Amino acid sequence: MSRRLSLRKRTAVLLTLVLALVGATAAAARPRHELKFDVSFPAATRATPADGRAFVIVSTTASSEPREQINIVNGAPYWGRDVEGLRPGRSVHLDSGAATYGYPLATLNQLPPGRYYVQAFFTVYDTFHRGDGSTVQLHMPCGDGQDNFNSPQNMYSTPQWITVTGDEDKPLKLSLDHVITPSDPIPAGGTCQQGNPTDSQHVQHIKILSPALTKFWGTPIYVGANVLLPQGYDDPKNANVRYPVEYHFAHFTENAPHGFKENGGNAFSQFWLNPSSPKFISIEVREENPFYDSSYEVDSPNVGPYGTATTQELIPALDAQFRTIAAPWARVTSGGSTGGWEALASLVFNPGVYGGTFAGYPDPVDFHRHQIVDIYDDANAYNTLRQFDYPTQRPDDRNTAGDSIYDMAQENLWELAIGDHDRSGGAWAIWEAVYGPQGKDGYPALVWDKRTGAIDHTVAAQWKPKDLDAKLAAEWSTLGPQLRGEIHMYVGDMDTYFLNDAVELLQKNLDAQTSPPADATFTYGREKPHGWSPYTDAQWFGVYAAYVASKAPAGTDVSGWRGSKTATANTVRAMLPASMDGGVIDQTDVKLGPSR
């Protein structure tokens, strides 16, 4: 009897456990209420419907607005989705569906429960009916240099704290109650394009309507320039003096070239205002555009004819307004990173406009080393693939000790979450837009799959016209006689983005040219990162003065601008040795993500 009771008890206990497990499993199988947001804007923020991309950004700190905390590493997570015709008072739904994509967490349901400082944002897209027949939607910058999260027209919400439980039963509502406005006053009948900076004694600004770009984009497009005039320019005794020009290419800025200050408050300004210094006009072009803060100064199928706009429209306007020496021998190009590529490309594509380049740490000049990717022969941009090994992730950013900061996939996915169709305003997006062909949808054709990194070699082959090394090699019989002795490059041999690799390929190929010889110079900074230069900005003008004087036609009077010659060598090659351990690091402004 007792044994039967014991068996019954054990059976009852087992049954209870089974029922409990079944109940727990059923509870676990119940649909979880996933995190979702409804983002809207009131008519007081914007009275008309908006096309664009809606974002939700979350942070664990209120030290700044969440939109200011987005970054590739250790940044605030964010998610975005495209939307068309969102009306005031209506909502766009961000959830864990395929339409919403984020970084570093791809989907909203990956955000763990917790307390978060949350902000909504909306990038407004303009519709362009372009001259080539394509219709695209991109954000038009407004004197901000395509700084997405600080760009006029775009909307954002007041940040607020929320608690995510992991089982939200209804969407969290966020209202876009602010709209960003232009930082500069817009003159009557004017435009916010390229900004409206204030002139001073030595710093003047010019902005013109570009017929070529207006035709391409199907709407009025402007280009501008910041013009730094030499000391004594306005002195009546110099009224007949004309000056050589440094075209210094860089990211969009309204600041004076080289950080000049009227009060002489830094070393460069003191040099510039010194009567014995070389006298140049220094010009930086302002060409923010629907893809980026810079056009790369070439004609391209996606960004448009910015090379034409600069050389055939802007430069003639500058020559007409200022006392420039309007001749190629008196124009040098310079710049670093993006500006370094532009400086070299401007010379290579326009040898009859410019007379030489001094280009530093340029963006990739040979696409066999597009940073660290060979777009022609590699199978994947994100990973090195081998037959039996696991894929090895390709680094994107490194320090001079060799440590990787982040990899190729991270930066590309970071950009993708900000905007598809190369609408992120990021480096990889603008390279695709400038270097490559237009896709069937009117947007840039993807050279690799943004999610996987798989390279499309059909598209890659169409990048060759913008491969500067390939162009020089293919056209040296024509370009060589025009460019001999005019190419001068410098870069740190531990460039942060591996840009020295492509420069070294360029040197190898130019060194091999004999008909005629290139007579190019290459200077490397030992164990120096991105931004390294062998000289300060002030010292470079001594180099430019010696170079331009050597190019001047026989009998030219250079006394009005040459300056003191005691501190400069006789030849550019003597001034630019093959390698250096000294030099300076240029602290370039960063607007969003890494600066190139």
C-alpha distances in Å from residue 268, one per residue of 282, 402, 539, 540, 545: 13, 33, 9, 11, 16
- Rounded to whole angstroms, the Cα distance separating 395 from 594 reads 14
Left if phi > 0, otherwise alpha if psi is -120 to 50, otherwise beta: which for 345?
alpha
Left if phi > 0, otherwise alpha if psi is -120 to 50, otherwise beta: which for 485?
left
Give the whole-number percent of the chain exceeding pLDDT 70.
90
- Rounded to whole angstroms, the Cα distance separating 319 from 303 reads 25
Helix, strand or coil, per DSSP, at residue 173: strand
Q: How far is CA 229 from the centre of its chain?
A: 28
Backbone angles phi, psi at 37, to 5 degrees: -130, 145
Give the whole-number percent of the chain exceeding pLDDT 90.
87
Q: So what's the pLDDT on residue 582? A: 73
pLDDT tens digits for range 190-221: 999 999 999 999 999 999 999 999 999 999 99
Mean pLDDT of 121-125: 98
The reply to whether omega before 316 is within 30° of 0 (cis) is no
Mean pLDDT of 299-328: 98
Q: Where are the beta strands (DSSP E) in 263-386?
A: 281-286, 299-300, 304-305, 331-336, 357-360, 383-384
- Rounded to whole angstroms, the Cα distance separating 219 from 291 reads 15
- The C-alpha angle with vertex 42 and arms to 40 and 45, in degrees rounded to 5, equals 110
At 417, list the tokens: 């979450």
The reply to whether omega before 104 is within 30° of 0 (cis) is yes
Q: Cα-Cα-Cα-Cα dihedral of 371, 498, 393, 470, to 10°?
A: 30
Alpha helices in 338-405 (DSSP H): 338-349
Backbone angles phi, psi at 392, to 5 degrees: -105, 125
Q: So what's the pLDDT on residue 593? A: 60
- Rounded to whole angstroms, the Cα distance separating 223 from 284 reads 11
- Rounded to whole angstroms, the Cα distance separating 119 from 162 reads 10
pLDDT tens digits for range 466-521: 999 999 999 999 999 999 999 999 999 999 999 999 999 999 999 999 999 999 99
Alpha helices in 201-323 (DSSP H): 211-217, 267-273, 306-308, 315-321
- pLDDT above 90 (res 144): yes
pLDDT tens digits for range 28-51: 444 457 899 999 999 999 999 999
Q: So what's the pLDDT on residue 586? A: 77
Instruction: Find out whether 258 and 292 touch, Cβ atoms under 8 Å.
Output: no
Q: So what's the pLDDT on residue 63? A: 97
- Rounded to whole angstroms, the Cα distance separating 193 from 440 reads 29
- Rounded to whole angstroms, the Cα distance separating 287 from 589 reads 17
Q: So what's the pLDDT on residue 246? A: 98
- Closest by CA to 272, choosing from 284, 283, 253, 258, is 258
- Rounded to whole angstroms, the Cα distance separating 124 from 108 reads 22
The secondary structure of residue 18, as a DSSP letter, is H
Instruction: Find out whether 495 and 399 touch, Cβ atoms under 8 Å.
Output: no
Beta bridge partners of 138: 126
Mean pLDDT of 416-438: 98
